[in-house]
Structure 1
Amino acid sequence: MAARKAAYNNESISMLKGADRVRLRPAVIFGSDGIEGCEHSIFEILSNSIDEAREGFGTEITVTRFLDHSVEVEDHGRGIPVDFNQNEQRYNWELVFCEMYAGGKYHNNQAGSYEYSLGLNGLGLCATQYASEYMDVDIRTGDTRYTLHFERGENAGGLHKEPSKAKSGTKIRWKPDMQVFTDIQVPVEYYMDMIKRQAIVNEGIRFIFRNETTAGFETTEFCYEKGIVDHAQELAGEDALTGVQFWQTERKVRDRADKPEYKTKINVAVAFSNRNHQTEYYHNSSWLEHGGAPDKAARNAFVYQIDAYLKQSGKYNKNESKITFADVEDCLILVISSFSNVTSYENQTKKAITNKGIQEAMVDMLRHQLEIYFMENPMDAEKIAGQVLINKRSREDAEKTRLNLRKKLTSNMDITSRVAKFVDCRSRDAGEREIFIVEGDSALGACKQARDPNFQAIMPIRGKILNCLKADYDKIFKSDIITDLIKVLGCGVQVKSKANKDLSSFDMKLLRWNKVILCTDADVDGFQIRTLLLTMLYRLTPALIESGKVFIAESPLYEITAKTETYFAYTEQEKNDVLKKLEGQKYTIQRSKGLGENEADMMNLTTMNPATRRLIKVMPEDAARTAEIFDLLLGDNLSGRKEYIAENGNLYIDFLDVS
């Protein structure tokens, strides 16, 4: 009998009230209920202190990260107003800490309020309080000290007030609540990055970060006296193509013809370099990770003005295509810090702004300043134009190469795209087909004779392939051996690099084989080739390993012959067991021959025949350990490799060729 569904009627509609508006739906305010949301809640408290300092009240802000994951922010501003509000007929602490959309930044054109504010919505302080296990507030106004204590969104004990001559400021300590966020262990790196960015766009303000450890507090200070100019110089380095230019403007704008005017201030630091590139956008101190209006403005202005210069100076070749922002960005150091007293963020996390008025003002300002800069600095203009053209032509060459490569990697294996020396099988059923990747032409001959041509194919490789662990993708895909192997597999590659993401075309359904079998000699060279092949598969097609498609053909170490019987021993223990069995009989024992030296029937028996061969499946759970060993043996950890060889070298002494 089907379960009875609950009724849906007028009483089904409910409304979240008080702290539940945040505690039950934190992602609506903070963008996430995970670590990113927790991080954003910390920034909300810091932003209020930054607004005070930028208005000229206090020049130092201290952020403390405690071992229990609680946080404290202290400033030396005027102190949050928390006493009785005659206009609202309520205490301000109730409005500020317990009411959404309450604050002192809505009427930002009136005297004495914030002209350019990071926090405009009146959500951050209240929402963070609601999302806390506890919050302690200590406010000094110069003649009075106020204290408040909250627990999980509820005030405990009301407002405490006492006379005090202590220096004015606000100190808030709170602990993000694990009942609200899934993770509150905000890493030190977040604090360091976030505080540094605030120092960059708030010139002259000193930020102190205190991180509690078991040994005490570690303190780091950030201060950029010239703000974004110092930061742009830091990014450009000493050998940039041009020096840092600083441009500034303040304008009145509107987002639509029927909308009211508002003020915006735009600061720009720009330089060009053929070694480094970086674009960063900030608005009202908030780092715009996704840019929005400033990014659109920069793309428009820089492409327009540099393209105009290239046309005017005849730098383009005949019929050459126009530059793109990617060509400019590759040599551009750009930091834009804008402010406005009306701001439209994409959402509460403030990672992009959408103000049309600010965007239009930026386009106009950047075009004008670039035009003047090029006119007044012709040598800089020449260097910039030349570098942008180099970037453009390199990009176009790389795109052609990648297009050809993508076509090569994903093309069907037909008569027009044969891989040299690849020997296919008759079956077209991918569920039974096997591909043996073998070492060299001699092994190709032996395996070709020993295989079952109905379902077994052979792909020989010539020598040791590239170490894919250390090489970048461009170098990897220039290797004919590797591209031939990928082509034979048929499933494409998994590429994680953003620069080469267009080559990522992996599709397991296009894999042409049920088993991919690595077949190399049982000697040092064979082991290395096998390792390099596994490294390639792990780097380019890890899903094949995870889905159990990759195998190693285990070659016998010894051939032991007695009378008419031949035994194969794959380990030292198996050799000893056979010798015990043959005790008292005459026998000969020898190292097993290389793949190319074996007779066809011997190869079939030991390596090819599913009934008698031994295959080692490369298991999915071994993937992480495999990567670790690959990195140790083939990566850049020289000291670790030496240590491993010292500890384990004796295990392989019998395989060394020291004759």
Structure 2
Amino acid sequence: MAKKQTYGNDSIKSLKGADRVRLRPAVIFGSDGLDGCEHAIFEILSNSIDEARQGYGKEITVTRYADHSVEVEDHGRGIPVDYNKREERYNWELVFCEMYAGGKYNNNDGGNYDYALGLNGLGLCATQYASEYMDADIRYDGFRYTLHFEHGENIGGLNKEPYGKKVTGSRIRWKPDIKVFTDIDVPADYYTDIIKRQAIVNAGVKFILKNEVSPRKFETTEFCYENGILDHVRELVGEDALTSVQFWQSEKRVRDREDLPLYNVKINAAVAFSNRVHLTEYYHNSSWLEYGGAPDKAVQNAFVYQIDAYLKQNGKYNKSESKIKFQDVEDCLVIVMSSFSTMTSYENQTKKAINNKGIQEAMVEMLRHNLEIYFIENPIEAEKIGAQVLINKRSREDAEKTRLNLKGKLTAKMDITGRVAKFVDCRSKDVSEREIFIVEGDSALGAVKQARDPNYQAVMPIRGKILNCLKADYDKIFKSEIITD
């Protein structure tokens, strides 16, 4: 056997440069598989979305190439990549090659971005490190800048040339590295899903998806929702909605703890009720919160509280009937919430949940207030909602009773007490003291049952005398099912 190395001071090492991502991609992207590769695409797309949301460029083009490379082009301000006097380094080195370097750290202090998806200065650099190659074409401040990277290393430095056109922006093309990710074949469905979601929560921004189906032949799909989440909910419920679609907005200054700074939060919610479809969907700074977090808790709190209050005030509950649960509301609820804040506590870099206490409290307050007004101003719709929620509740409870009854019957068949007719069990489950008396006939069963100690003595009857055939008539004998069997 090979001799093992001694674990000592020389065993500790520090990852540097591209190795920080290439050797441990799951730390940044959440996975070293296809999920991680997909999230890398979202990181680059996020930067373009942040520009569009600030009002710089209203069109973003994403191209999926047949060789698994990806290109994202926007018409924003462009990435500042020239020399940075304060840092005494070129900005391209910081944003493309330095972890935790970016321009979105001071959003709460009047920075360049009010509400940003990018927060940590990790996405662009990490994606560059995890790529087989990356090409950047940037039009900014009267110049055109180009950069080329391979396997996390820059090749050829920064190329700069005068640019006379007014249109600014960035075009990033890269190919995820199969040496970093176990799979880079991102399906077209992922692109369609993620781009549609971004169109929904970024009202008025046009997203163009180009999918290369054969060499130099592209299928193009456009996504644009002029009214954002409101159009999306209308599209979902169609004409069969139980109620009209409501759109609520709120803006507030909140804090997550008394000693922490205040920050801005903006909340948009599109709500409808339907007995045909149900959906709860949450976004923050346009990132889809697949795992919810604060918005999920806020919706559960507000809707159960307000609908329960309505049912009580209007005497809709039966006497001694239990309170509704969120499951009863959720079965007929369609809600899409899109919130923005200048400070955010995402669960991690993949941004699939938020846990800000201040945002949650603001959402609860906004939803309760708007629901209360909605029920007062729309009594007919409020009655429909209350009736449907009670139907959901009562059907759930009936289904639960049926399930428990069936479970009890099936469980009984597995137990000796169910398999043996007229078996009388004892209370104790301790096998060291349990006893069983086997008796003949029902009369013996009755006598022993009364005389036994029910704590540890069980009784199992077996069939007694069938019939005294010497004394019985033939008719009586052959009417006995046991004898004929």
Q: Report the equivalent of 2:173.
A: 173
CA distance in 2, matches of 1:26, 1:59: 32
Amino acid corresponding to residue 302 of structure 1 in structure 2: F
Residues 142 and 165 of structure 1 are in contact (CA less than 8 Å); yes or no, is this contact kept in structure 2? no
Within 5 A, what are the aligned runs for 1:609-648?
Answer: none
CA distance in 2, matches of 1:105, 1:161: 25
CA distance in 2, matches of 1:155, 1:107: 28
Q: Report the equivalent of 1:382.
A: 383
Residues 108 and 343 of structure 2 are in contact (CA less than 8 Å); yes or no, is this contact kept in structure 1? no
Amino acid corresponding to residue 227 of structure 2 in structure 1: K
Amino acid corresponding to residue 76 of structure 1 in structure 2: H
Residues 273 and 331 of structure 1 are in contact (CA less than 8 Å); yes or no, is this contact kept in structure 2? yes
* Alpha-carbon distance, 1:415 to partner: 5.8
CA distance in 1, matches of 2:218, 2:409: 57
Q: Report the equivalent of 1:194.
A: 194
CA distance in 2, matches of 1:302, 1:95: 46
Q: Report the equivalent of 2:90.
A: 91
Q: Report the equivalent of 1:370.
A: 371
Deviations 1:205-243 (A, max 9, x none): 000000001161000000000000000111111110111
Residues 26 and 37 of structure 1 are in contact (CA less than 8 Å); yes or no, is this contact kept in structure 2? yes
* Alpha-carbon distance, 1:62 to partner: 0.2
Amino acid corresponding to residue 299 of structure 1 in structure 2: Q
Residues 79 and 168 of structure 1 are in contact (CA less than 8 Å); yes or no, is this contact kept in structure 2? yes
CA distance in 1, matches of 2:414, 2:345: 54
CA distance in 1, matches of 2:61, 2:110: 28
SS in 1 for 2:404: helix
SS in 2 for 1:109: helix
Q: Report the equivalent of 1:348.
A: 349
SS in 1 for 2:108: coil
Residues 413 and 419 of structure 2 are in contact (CA less than 8 Å); yes or no, is this contact kept in structure 1? no
Within 5 A, what are the aligned runs for 1:9-408?
Answer: 9-111=8-110, 113-141=112-140, 143-166=142-165, 167-214=167-214, 216-408=217-409
CA distance in 2, matches of 1:419, 1:352: 54
Amino acid corresponding to residue 131 of structure 1 in structure 2: A
CA distance in 2, matches of 1:260, 1:409: 59
CA distance in 1, matches of 2:410, 2:54: 59
CA distance in 1, matches of 2:299, 2:95: 37
Which runs of no fewer than 5 residues in structure 2 stay unpaired? 422-485
Deviations 1:446-483 (A, max 9, x none): xxxxxxxxxxxxxxxxxxxxxxxxxxxxxxxxxxxxxx
CA distance in 1, matches of 2:354, 2:138: 32
Residues 269 and 336 of structure 1 are in contact (CA less than 8 Å); yes or no, is this contact kept in structure 2? yes
CA gap 1:337/1:419 in 2 versus in 1, 3 angstroms: farther
* Alpha-carbon distance, 1:161 to partner: 0.2
Within 5 A, what are the aligned runs for 1:418-429?
Answer: none
SS in 1 for 2:105: coil
CA gap 1:128/1:380 in 2 versus in 1, 3 angstroms: same
* Alpha-carbon distance, 1:165 to partner: 2.0
SS in 2 for 1:16: coil
For these two proteins, the number of residue pairs brought into alignment is: 419
Amino acid corresponding to residue 280 of structure 1 in structure 2: E
Deviations 1:402-459 (A, max 9, x none): 2222333444434654599xxxxxxxxxxxxxxxxxxxxxxxxxxxxxxxxxxxxxxx
Deviations 1:323-382 (A, max 9, x none): 010000000000000000100011111100010000000001101110011011111110
Amino acid corresponding to residue 31 of structure 1 in structure 2: G
Deviations 1:36-83 (A, max 9, x none): 000000000000000000000000000000000000000000000000
CA distance in 2, matches of 1:376, 1:49: 41
Q: Report the equivalent of 1:447.
A: none
CA distance in 2, matches of 1:368, 1:93: 48
* Alpha-carbon distance, 1:399 to partner: 1.1
CA distance in 1, matches of 2:169, 2:272: 38
CA distance in 2, matches of 1:190, 1:395: 35
SS in 2 for 1:249: strand
CA gap 1:116/1:419 in 2 versus in 1, 3 angstroms: farther
CA distance in 2, matches of 1:192, 1:280: 17
* Alpha-carbon distance, 1:3 to partner: 6.2
Deviations 1:306-330 (A, max 9, x none): 0000011010111111101000000
Residues 60 and 206 of structure 1 are in contact (CA less than 8 Å); yes or no, is this contact kept in structure 2? yes
* Alpha-carbon distance, 1:107 to partner: 1.0
* Alpha-carbon distance, 1:266 to partner: 0.4
* Alpha-carbon distance, 1:112 to partner: 5.3
**Amino-acid identity (%):** 76
* Alpha-carbon distance, 1:270 to partner: 0.3
Amino acid corresponding to residue 48 of structure 2 in structure 1: S
Deviations 1:85-120 (A, max 9, x none): 111110000000001100000011344510100010
Higher RCO structure (Cα 8 Å, ≥6 apart): 2
Residues 108 and 264 of structure 2 are in contact (CA less than 8 Å); yes or no, is this contact kept in structure 1? no
Within 5 A, what are the aligned runs for 1:508-587?
Answer: none
CA distance in 2, matches of 1:209, 1:73: 10
Residues 255 and 261 of structure 2 are in contact (CA less than 8 Å); yes or no, is this contact kept in structure 1? yes
Residues 269 and 335 of structure 2 are in contact (CA less than 8 Å); yes or no, is this contact kept in structure 1? yes
Q: Report the equivalent of 2:469.
A: none
CA gap 1:419/1:213 in 2 versus in 1, 3 angstroms: farther
* Alpha-carbon distance, 1:142 to partner: 5.3
CA distance in 2, matches of 1:290, 1:331: 20
1:8 aligns with 2:15: no
CA distance in 2, matches of 1:110, 1:385: 44
CA distance in 1, matches of 2:350, 2:411: 41
Q: Report the equivalent of 1:624.
A: none
Amino acid corresponding to residue 234 of structure 1 in structure 2: E
CA distance in 2, matches of 1:367, 1:316: 21
Residues 267 and 336 of structure 1 are in contact (CA less than 8 Å); yes or no, is this contact kept in structure 2? yes
Q: Report the equivalent of 1:464.
A: none
Deviations 1:163-203 (A, max 9, x none): 01231010000000000000000000000000000000000
Amino acid corresponding to residue 363 of structure 1 in structure 2: V
Amino acid corresponding to residue 356 of structure 2 in structure 1: N
Residues 250 and 366 of structure 2 are in contact (CA less than 8 Å); yes or no, is this contact kept in structure 1? yes
Deviates more, 1:134-143 or 1:274-283: 134-143
TM-score, normalised on structure 1? 0.62
SS in 2 for 1:53: helix
CA distance in 2, matches of 1:413, 1:154: 66
CA distance in 1, matches of 2:86, 2:412: 74
Amino acid corresponding to residue 23 of structure 1 in structure 2: R
Which runs of no fewer than 5 residues in structure 1 stay unpaired? 421-659
CA distance in 1, matches of 2:420, 2:138: 76
CA distance in 2, matches of 1:415, 1:101: 66
Deviates more, 1:41-50 or 1:236-245: 236-245
Deviations 1:613-656 (A, max 9, x none): xxxxxxxxxxxxxxxxxxxxxxxxxxxxxxxxxxxxxxxxxxxx
CA distance in 2, matches of 1:193, 1:176: 20
CA distance in 1, matches of 2:337, 2:47: 21
